[in-house]
Amino acid sequence: MENDTPILPQEIITSILVRLPVKSLIRFLCVCKDWKNLFRTPSFFAEHLHHSSRQNSLLLIVDSIIPEANSRHLYSLNREMQIHEIQKSRNIGHFKPGCVYSSNGLLCVGLDNECPDSLWLWNPTIRVVRQVPKSLNNYEYEDFSVGFGFSPTINDYKIIKLFLSGRFVVQGEVYSLKTGLWRKVEVGNLEGVYVLRGWSAFPCNETIFWMGRKDVEGHSKCRLHLIVSFDIAKDVFTLTPFPVMISRQKCCNTLVCYEKKLVCYENKLAIFFPNSESHGIDLWVLEECGDPSKGRWSWAKIFSSRPNPSSLIIYPQIIWRNEIVCLVQALPEYEVEEDYEGKLVLGSLTADELNIFDVPIRSFNTWIFDYVESLVLLDKIHI
Amino acid sequence: MSSSVEAITVLSSDGDEFKITVSAAKLSKPLNWMLEDVCFSDDCDEVPTIEVNSKTLVKVIEYCEKHAPRANSGASDSDAEELKKWDIEFMKMDVKDILFHILMAANYLHMEGLYDLACQTAADLMKGMTVSQIRKIFHIKNDFSSEEQEQLRRQHPGCSFD
C-alpha cells in the first residue's frame, strides 16, 4: 500500500483510525490538523473506546505501598500476561488508601496529602490529569462514599458522592465530566439506608453499585441487605435486595474467610460470595426478571467453585476475560506446594483450575481493575 | 427472483466478466437487493456492473465464496476458528497493494465482515509506519507551522513529525 493508493473518504479513514492503539494515535496527532482535531472529539473517543474495550481489555493493578518508596505502583497486564509499569503523571502523588476508581480508561483518585474531598481524574495512557472542582457545599457530615463510572448512552463520565451521617446516606452530589460541574442529586429513596464502610462503589453497565443495609422497622436486630444502584445516565437511585440465599448465609467460616465482592459478569452485576457449606466460591448474577409478579430483579447462581484448598484463602477480585482474578494467601500452619504469595492467580470460570502468574503483588492491600486504553481528557488540554 | 440459477455474472468497472454464486452474492446487501429485483435466469442477458476494478473484485468474490456457507447456515466454533485463520491468510496475501480498494469495495457493497477485517488490517499496518509514510498513503499535507509542531511536541512527547 505504498504507492498510488486511492483517496479514501473520511468515513473510511475514521473507521481505520478508531482501531489504532492510543500510542499510535498520539504519534499521529501531528499528521495534520484535521486528524489532531478528530482525535479530540468526544464521538471519536467513544468509537475508539468501543473497539479498544472489545479487543484490548487490560488488567490494572494498583500495588500496595512499598515501604522504601512509600508509593503505590501501577501496572497494566495485557492478554499475553505481559506487565507494563505505568508512569505516574505530574500532580499525582500517593493515592489515598481505598480511593482509586477505574472506569473505561479513566481513573478517579484521591491523594494522601490533600483534604479528603479533593479528587483527581487521570488518564494514565495519555498522561493527562485534571483536578475535580470542590463539591457544592462544605458538608459537615462525617464521611462520604465516592462512586465513579461511565455511560456510553450519554457519553459521559460521572463521579457520585454520597454524604453519610452515622453511615446513613443524607445527601448526594454528582459531577459530570462533560459539564465540569457538581449538581445535587435526589436521594429521597435512600432514607434509612446506609452504605458499608470500606466498600468501594463498583461501576458496571452504566450503573454504580454499593452494598448497603437498611434496618427493618420494628426489628432492631434485623437488617435487610441491599444493593444501592445509581443510574449514571438518568441520575436515579434504585434499591435491590440481596439474594435470599446469601442473606441467610454467614459471611465467614474458619477456612474461607473473605468478604463479598461485587463484580461485573457479561455486563451484569454479580457478586462473589463464600459458600460456607461447600467451602468454595459462589457467583450470583443479578438478572432482570421476566416475571414482574416476582419483582423486577432476580438473582441466579451461575457458578460454584470446587472447595478451596484448606491451606489457602482465596480472594476473588474481578472477572476478566472469563476468568476470576484472585489474590491468594497461604495459611501459615499448612505446608503449601505452590508458592502463591505475592502472585496473581487466575481461576477459570469453566475449567475450575487455578493458574499462577508471576505478577508483582506485594500484599492484599492491592486493588485490581479492568482497564482499557482511551483518549478521554485529550480534549481538555490546550494544543 | 428466479431460483433457477446458482451463479450470476457481473461486470467489473474494467468491463471484465465474473461469476459469483447466488449464496456468496447475498453477503452484500446491494447485490442481494439486485437479486430480488432482477430476473436472473439462463435466458436473461442482463449483466449488472459492479463499480469495483477487476483486481479488487477477484478478491472480494474470493472472500464472499469462502464466507457464504457460514453466513447462510451458521457454523460451529471450529468452523469459525478455521475461518478466522483463513481471514488472516487472506489479508496476508497480495491484498496489501489493494487494501484501500478492498475497503472502498466493502463499504460500497455493504459487507460488514470484510469492512471490519480490512479496517483492522489497515490499522495494524499503520502501527509500524512513520508519520511521513502515513501522509503519503493518505495523500495528506503537513499543515502545521513549525511553532505549532513545537507546541504539540511539548504537550505530547509521544507524537512524532518524522
pLDDT tens for residues B102-133?
999 999 999 999 999 999 999 999 998 999 99
Other C-beta atoms closer than 10 Å to the C-beta of A242 total 21
Minimal-distance CA residue of chain B relative to A27: B159
Same domain, A248 and A196: yes
Minimal-distance CA residue of chain A relative to B118: A16
| Domain boundaries, position A31 | 10-39
**pLDDT above 80: residue B3:** no
State how many domains chain A has.
Answer: 2
Is residue A69 a part of any domain in this protein? yes
Cell output for A352: 475450575
Is residue A5 a part of any domain in this protein? no
Same domain, A190 and A310: yes
A30/B159 touch (CB, cutoff 8 Å), yes or no: yes
Contact A162, A144 (CB under 8 A): yes
Same domain, A35 and A157: no
pLDDT in tens, A253-269: 323 334 678 899 988 99
Same domain, A219 and A349: yes
Maximum average pLDDT range among A3-7, A109-113, A149-153, A270-274: A149-153
In sign, the C-alpha dihedral spanning A323, A328, A333, A336 is positive
Is residue A2 a part of any domain in this protein? no
Other C-beta atoms closer than 10 Å to the C-beta of B130 total 12
H/E element, A84: strand A83-86
Half-sphere exposure of A351 (CA within 13 A, CB side): 8
Is residue A228 a part of any domain in this protein? yes
Least confident of A218-227, A313-322, B141-150: A218-227
Is residue A254 a part of any domain in this protein? yes
B123/A2 touch (CB, cutoff 8 Å), yes or no: no
- List of chain B residues whose C-beta atoms are within 8 Å of the C-beta of residue A87: none
**CATH number of the domain encompassing residue A360:** 2.120.10.80
Minimal-distance CA residue of chain A relative to B152: A383
Same domain, A167 and A238: yes
Same domain, A72 and A104: yes
Same domain, A91 and A15: no
- For residue A28, which of B96, B137, B101, B106 has the smallest C-alpha distance? B137
Quick one: how far is CA B115 from the chain centroid?
5
pLDDT in tens, A317-347: 889 888 888 887 777 776 666 666 667 778 7
Q: Residue A74 forms beta bridges with which residues?
A: A62, A86
- For residue A162, which of A195, A118, A115 has the smallest C-alpha distance? A195
Q: Residue A213 forms beta bridges with which residues?
A: A194, A225
Same domain, A201 and A280: yes
Half-sphere exposure of A66 (CA within 13 A, CB side): 12
Quick one: how far is CA B101 from the chain centroid?
7
Same domain, A255 and A147: yes
- List of chain B residues whose C-beta atoms are within 8 Å of the C-beta of residue A34: 140
A1/B155 touch (CB, cutoff 8 Å), yes or no: no
Same domain, A163 and A74: yes
Same domain, A112 and A181: yes
B100/A31 touch (CB, cutoff 8 Å), yes or no: no
Which class is B7-128 in CATH? alpha beta
- List of chain A residues whose C-beta atoms are within 8 Å of the C-beta of residue B145: none
Q: Residue A212 forms beta bridges with which residues?
A: A195, A226
Residue A10 DSSP SS3: helix
* CA A270 vs CA A55, A207, B6, B113: distances in Å: 23, 13, 50, 33
**Model confidence, pTM:** 0.84
Query: Residue B30: left if φ>0, alpha if ψ -120 to 50, beta else—which one?
Result: alpha
B135/A7 touch (CB, cutoff 8 Å), yes or no: no
